[in-house]
């Protein structure tokens, strides 16, 4: 239960509410809670009644009321599915309200009708779930609820009395790298490969400590590591991009983390945002307790089906051209295009994007078969994440085990592989969406699956056969449209070699592998 009044001289926020998790009555429109304001104390000041945001979404965690200064537009928003609960009618009669808002579309409609900045409306829609104690109309991040999982990451910034762009930047620049982090750097890759991955949210204390730095824009790469990184213009081996080379920025070489800049036009991004808005729902986390999901990942997301719009198809086409990975949705190689919207405080705690999280799977007798049974479309080879808007502050994508973070830039994208060539998840690729400190963040974290085929074959002939085969596989790995092929499993039994091979992506590649291995084993 919250009931705190906070006054900063300009505007006042009155918090009230019950936790949906602990009060089942709150989760229905018939709830007595909705008929009374007892649990949501509303104290409008006569000289300040400018804004009221009332979250009645059944799953909402809090009732939120805000009043702004007289200079702010007068607006009352009501989020959720209950159309006209009594308290709202009461407020209408008091002349405070301008409309009822049901769902995303209506929020926009209301905003247009009252000439509100739709960006502001986006903020209103999202911040309610972002665990912030206070947010003003411009969505400035001020204080976080103590339960926020990334509390530590933003603590220093959040507790700064004057939270301004300048302050945030200064903190980011001057923040010293703690000595123990520097020391641990030397072993970072080895160490991370040994970590347990039994849980989707597993990250070590060190990961969190590093994250705190990365979210402020630090890099933990050494000067020598950084000196090998380049920015260049290239076509990535794609004939299609030869006429339209793209700007590539290297953030890390091993593992590879690349940014592509100025990739999408503002109107394409606007279309993606527009297509997403009516479909937005609380984002989920695979395997996580549903009611806790928002603690791990506090964004809204929408799934866009490729054929529905030429822009969606164009995006998939661009990803395929840049990565060499196939993006045919019908063949399940690409998941549906997912768009994500984070409000102030919005974040995604450190996680891996690959699916076969459990080490036990790889230690079992026939991991490849198990993998394909559990995840028939294969695992997620890579992630290609597009940033769809300019984030005013915060919202970097951080890779604590690599020691780099990527700034979200409108129209840019970041790309990394989630799997090692063996097909196992690359534990170095733990990453997080740093909390948005100011504004909103829209992105498209598109994952690409292995799909294609598995082939299992035996080589009984000779060691020479095995060596030849190996050489051939390495040769095939360089196949232009098959960036991440794997030959994952070699079991020596006397001179019998059994290979299972999860082959990714290119049908040509699969065919060659199958033909070649058949020839060798016959
Ligand atoms: O938004 C980000 O920066 C990261 C998002 C992410 O990792 C995901 O959606 O899987
Ligand atoms: Fe991710």
Q: Which CATH number goes with the domain that contains 493?
A: 3.30.70
Domain endpoint, select from 428, 449, 470: 449
- Do 444 and 470 share a domain, yes or no? no
**Could you tell me if 77 and 67 are in contact, meaning their C-beta atoms sit under 8 angstroms apart?**
no
Domain endpoint, select from 84, 114, 147: 147
- Do 222 and 131 share a domain, yes or no? no
In this structure, is residue 155 part of a structural domain?
Answer: no
- Do 331 and 205 share a domain, yes or no? yes
Sequence-separated (6 or more) residues with CB below 8 Å from residue 43: 5, 14
In this structure, is residue 130 part of a structural domain?
Answer: yes
Cα of 284 to ligand 1 centre, how many Å?
12
Q: Locate the ligand 1 atom nearest the alpha carbon of residue 395 and give its number.
A: 3
- Do 85 and 217 share a domain, yes or no? no
pLDDT band at 357 (very low <50, low <70, confident <90, very high): low
- Do 132 and 225 share a domain, yes or no? no
Domain endpoint, select from 86, 116, 147: 147
- Do 135 and 174 share a domain, yes or no? no
- Do 254 and 335 share a domain, yes or no? yes
pLDDT in tens, 86-130: 444 444 434 434 444 434 344 445 445 544 433 333 434 443 333
pLDDT in tens, 278-297: 787 777 776 656 555 656 77
Q: Locate the ligand 1 atom nearest the alpha carbon of residue 397 and give its number.
A: 3
- Do 288 and 203 share a domain, yes or no? yes
Give, rounded to a whole angstrom, the gap between the first and last alpha carbons of the chain.
72
Query: In terms of pLDDT, which residue wins out, 37 or 407?
Result: 407
Render 221-241 in DSSP notation, one character per residue. --HHHHHT--EEEE-TT-HHH
- Do 417 and 442 share a domain, yes or no? yes
pLDDT band at 373 (very low <50, low <70, confident <90, very high): low
In this structure, is residue 163 part of a structural domain?
Answer: no
Ligand nearest to the CA of 299: 1
Render 281-341 in DSSP notation, one character per residue. EE---TTS-GGGHHHHB--EEEEE-GGG-HHHHHHHHHHHHHH-----GGGTSBPPEEEEE
What integer pLDDT is reported at residue 302 of this predicted model? Answer: 87
In this structure, is residue 162 part of a structural domain?
Answer: no
* Integer angstrom CA distances of residue 413 from 55, 321, 388: 34, 13, 9
In this structure, is residue 180 part of a structural domain?
Answer: yes
Question: Ligand 1 pocket check: which of 412, 433, 439 to mutate, most ligand atoms within 8 Å of Cβ?
Answer: 433
According to the 3-state scheme, what is the secondary structure of 21-37?
CCCHHHHCCCCHHHHCC
pLDDT band at 485 (very low <50, low <70, confident <90, very high): very low
Name the residues around ion ligand 2, CB cutoff 5 A. 353
What integer pLDDT is reported at residue 281 of this predicted model? Answer: 77
Per the structure, the complete domain to which residue 113 belongs is given by: 5-147
Tokens describing residue 18:
């019950």
Q: Locate the ligand 1 atom nearest the alpha carbon of residue 398 and give its number.
A: 3
- Do 384 and 401 share a domain, yes or no? yes
pLDDT in tens, 442-474: 999 988 776 544 444 444 444 444 554 544 444
Question: Ligand 1 pocket check: which of 211, 416, 432 to mutate, most ligand atoms within 8 Å of Cβ?
Answer: 432
In this structure, is residue 201 part of a structural domain?
Answer: yes
Q: Which CATH number goes with the domain that contains 220?
A: 2.60.120.620
In this structure, is residue 330 part of a structural domain?
Answer: yes
Weakest-pLDDT range from 173-177, 369-373, 448-452: 173-177
The domain total for the chain is 3
Query: In terms of pLDDT, which residue wins out, 246 or 101?
Result: 246
Cα of 354 to ligand 2 centre, how many Å?
9
Query: In terms of pLDDT, which residue wins out, 185 or 379?
Result: 379
- Do 311 and 415 share a domain, yes or no? yes
Query: In terms of pLDDT, which residue wins out, 359 or 299?
Result: 299
What integer pLDDT is reported at residue 507 of this predicted model? Answer: 41
What integer pLDDT is reported at residue 309 of this predicted model? Answer: 83
- Do 441 and 472 share a domain, yes or no? no
Q: Which residues line ligand 1 (CB under 6 A)?
A: 340, 348, 353, 397, 431, 433, 443, 445
Average pLDDT over residues 481-488: 31
Cα of 399 to ligand 2 centre, how many Å?
10
Cα of 350 to ligand 1 centre, how many Å?
9
Whose CA is closest to atom 8 on ligand 1?
445
Question: Is the pLDDT reported for residue 38 higher than 80?
Answer: no
């Amino acid at each position: 239960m919250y009931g705190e009044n906070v006054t900063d001289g300009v505007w006042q926020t009155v918090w009230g509410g019950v936790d949906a998790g602990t009060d089942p009555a709150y989760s229905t429109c018939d709830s007595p809670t909705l008929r009374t304001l007892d649990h949501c104390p509303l104290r409008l000041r006569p000289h300040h009644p400018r804004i009221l945001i009332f979250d009645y979404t059944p799953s909402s965690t809090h009732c939120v009321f805000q009043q702004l200064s007289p200079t702010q537009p007068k607006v009352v928003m009501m989020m959720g599915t209950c159309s006209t609960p009594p308290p709202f009618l009461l407020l209408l009669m008091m002349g405070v309200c301008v409309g009822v808002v049901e769902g995303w579309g209506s929020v926009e409609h209301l905003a247009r009708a009252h000439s509100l900045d739709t960006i502001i409306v986006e903020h209103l829609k999202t911040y309610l779930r972002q665990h912030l104690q206070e947010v003003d109309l411009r969505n400035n991040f001020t204080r976080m609820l103590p339960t926020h999982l990334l509390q530590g990451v933003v603590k220093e910034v959040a507790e700064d009395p004057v939270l301004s762009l300048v302050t945030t930047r200064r903190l980011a620049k001057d923040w010293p790298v703690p000595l123990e982090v520097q020391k641990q750097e030397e072993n970072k890759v080895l160490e991370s490969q040994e970590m347990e991955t039994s849980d989707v949210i597993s990250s070590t204390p060190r990961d969190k400590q590093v994250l705190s730095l990365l979210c402020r824009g630090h890099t933990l790469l050494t000067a020598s590591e950084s000196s090998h990184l380049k920015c260049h213009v290239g076509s990535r081996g794609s004939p299609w991009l030869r006429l339209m080379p793209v700007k590539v920025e290297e953030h890390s070489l091993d593992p590879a983390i690349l940014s592509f800049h100025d990739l999408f036009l503002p109107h394409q991004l606007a279309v993606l945002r527009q297509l997403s808005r009516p479909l937005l729902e609380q984002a989920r986390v695979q395997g996580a307790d549903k009611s806790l999901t928002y603690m791990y990942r506090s964004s809204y997301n929408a799934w866009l089906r490729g054929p529905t719009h030429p822009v969606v198809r164009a995006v998939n086409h661009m990803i395929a051209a840049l990565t060499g990975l196939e993006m045919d949705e019908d063949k399940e190689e690409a998941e549906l295009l997912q768009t994500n919207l984070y409000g102030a405080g919005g974040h995604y705690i450190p996680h891996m994007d690959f699916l076969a999280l459990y080490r036990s799977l790889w230690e079992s007798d026939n991991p490849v078969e198990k993998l394909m049974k559990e995840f028939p479309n294969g695992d997620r080879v890579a992630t290609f994440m597009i940033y769809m808007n300019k984030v005013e502050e915060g919202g970097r994508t951080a890779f604590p085990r690599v020691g780099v973070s990527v700034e979200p830039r409108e129209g840019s994208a970041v790309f990394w592989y989630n799997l090692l060539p063996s097909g196992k998840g690359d534990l170095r690729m733990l990453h997080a969406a740093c909390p948005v400190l100011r504004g909103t963040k829209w992105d498209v974290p598109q994952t690409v699956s292995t799909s294609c085929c598995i082939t299992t074959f035996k080589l009984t002939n000779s060691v020479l056969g095995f060596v030849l085969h190996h050489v051939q596989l390495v040769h095939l790995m360089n196949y232009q449209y098959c960036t991440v092929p794997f030959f994952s499993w070699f079991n020596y039994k006397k001179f019998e070699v059994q290979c299972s091979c999860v082959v990714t992506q290119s049908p040509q590649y699969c065919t060659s592998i199958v033909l070649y291995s058949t020839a060798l084993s016959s």
